[in-house]
Amino acid sequence: MTKISCRQICFIMLIYTAVSKFIIYPTYLSYYTGRDLLFSALINFAVQGVIVWSVSYLCSRTDKTFFGLLKDTFGNIFARIIFGLFALFFLLATINPLFEQKLYVHDIFYDTVPSLMIFLPVFFFLVYASAKPFLNIGRCADICLPLFLLSMLLILVMSLHEVKFDNFLPVFTQPKKIFSSSLASVFRFIEPAYLLMFMGRFRYKKGDAAKITISYIGGAVFVLVVLAAFYGIYGDVAPTRHFAISKISLFFPAIDLVGRIDLLALYVLEITMLFALVLNIQLAIECIAQCTGYENRAVLSVAVNAVFFLILIFCDNKYNAISTLFSKWMWIVFLIFANLIPLASWFLRKKNEED
């Protein structure tokens, strides 16, 4: 049953790829890699781009879902186990963005209120949005596209005049750090896992693999431009500036006259960030439903978000520890689920024995 269209998948690759990497990722890279941050990001995007192309091309060879492929190759029980693991993976993939969102929201939306209390109401939205069916994912992406493009256009136009490209010179002075920070950033790149879940749920037409890959590259370009603008503006001071996307348009001359209109663009962008966050939870719920056979999305949504709620309360003010945990230890999990398994899915049985 067609639940999402190729166009909507392209939008997801373009928008959601980019927005989740605007918050802490630029500061992190500028701290660890310095002026070579673009190369570090490029490595991750290049690897992921190849895997995205691979998975989207796989969709042309079969019209089964990923669950169907696993079931046909290894049996129902194994398929359910894998989907259970993927559910855990998507939940894990939500933790870091959730904490980043909390810090980001507190910074750009508020001046003086307690951060945790003011962020907790987001769970009302998460519970509601996560319970929505698959159809909802694509349509939200349709709405997010113009919002994303308009806000990014405004932010980038306001930032580009202050960028000094010679801040990136000299290049390749610390090649080891480029690779180590790439590896440590693996947990931020999970787009091939999304595509695995979309497999079989859209009608593949000729050329769709190229479209999806180009969209992913488009998202990558946005991230690279923001990274370039961030480091081009702040240079060596960049590691002191968190939430890069909110800092790059501060020096626009008209801000003194009209106020922080870049904040309005950031608020519009925040809508897409929220939907990007919800996507992980929706896919987790989808996997749980496939694994357990329990179809009541509302109950699953409440349960899953209750877990995040507790994690957020008990791990408040522990973002550094969580970030270190993900970058130092959990990267292997993300490597397996977002890189190796998508590549390995080529070896699954694509056609039935009767075929």
Q: Name the segment binding another protein (CB under 8 A); options: 72-80, 86-94, 106-114, 337-345.
A: 106-114
Q: What is the 3-state secondary structure (H, E, C) of the chain?
A: CCCCCHHHHHHHHHHHHHHCCCCCHHHHHHHHCHHHHHHHHHHHHHHHHHHHHHHHHHHHHCCCCHHHHHHHHHCHHHHHHHHHHHHHHHHHHHHHHHHHHHHHHHHHHCCCCCHHHHHCCHHHHHHHHHCCCHHHHHHHHHHHHHHHHHHHHHHHHHHHHHCCHHHHCCCCCCHHHHHHHHHHCHHHCCHHHHHHHHCCCCCCCCCHHHHHHHHHHHHHHHHHHHHHHHHHHHHHHHHHCCCHHHCCCCCCCCHHHHCCHHHHHHHHHHHHHHHHHHHHHHHHHHHHHHHHCCCCHHHHHHHHHHHHHHHHHHCCCCHHHHHHHHHHHCHHHHHHHHHHHHHHHHHCCCCCCCC
Best CA proximity match to 277, nearest among 148, 95, 128, 44: 95
Closer by beta carbon to another protein, 111 or else 354: 111
Q: Name the segment binding another protein (CB under 8 A); options: 18-26, 69-77, 186-194, 236-244.
A: 236-244
Task: Note whether 198 binds another protein by CB under 8 A.
Answer: no
| One residue of 31, 78, 110, 179 binding another protein per CB under 8 A | 110
Closer by beta carbon to another protein, 145 or else 223: 145
- Tokens found for residue 318: 């522990």
Closer by beta carbon to another protein, 85 or else 271: 271
Task: Note whether 293 binds another protein by CB under 8 A.
Answer: no
Closer by beta carbon to another protein, 84 or else 235: 235
Q: Name the segment binding another protein (CB under 8 A); options: 181-189, 265-273, 329-337, 339-347.
A: 265-273
Contact indicator for 9, 195 with CB cutoff of 8 Å: yes
Closer by beta carbon to another protein, 73 or else 115: 115
Distance CA 285, CA 304 (A): 8
Task: Note whether 142 binds another protein by CB under 8 A.
Answer: yes
The contact pattern for another protein, residues 45-84, with x = CB under 8 A and - = no contact, is: ----------------------------------------
CA angle 318, 319, 324 (to 5 degrees): 105
# binding residues, another protein (CB under 8 A)? 61
| One residue of 50, 118, 183, 289 binding another protein per CB under 8 A | 118
The contact pattern for another protein, residues 162-181, with x = CB under 8 A and - = no contact, is: ----x--xx--x--------
Shortest spacing between CB 330 and another protein, in angstroms: 26
Closer by beta carbon to another protein, 53 or else 104: 104
Task: Note whether 114 binds another protein by CB under 8 A.
Answer: yes
Closer by beta carbon to another protein, 282 or else 345: 282
| One residue of 16, 66, 187, 234 binding another protein per CB under 8 A | 234
User: Applying CB under 8 A, which residues contact another protein?
Assistant: 5, 7-8, 105, 107, 109-114, 117-119, 121-122, 124-125, 128-129, 132-133, 135-136, 138-140, 142-143, 146, 166, 169-170, 173, 233-237, 240-242, 250-251, 253, 255-260, 263-264, 267, 270-271, 274-275, 278, 296, 298
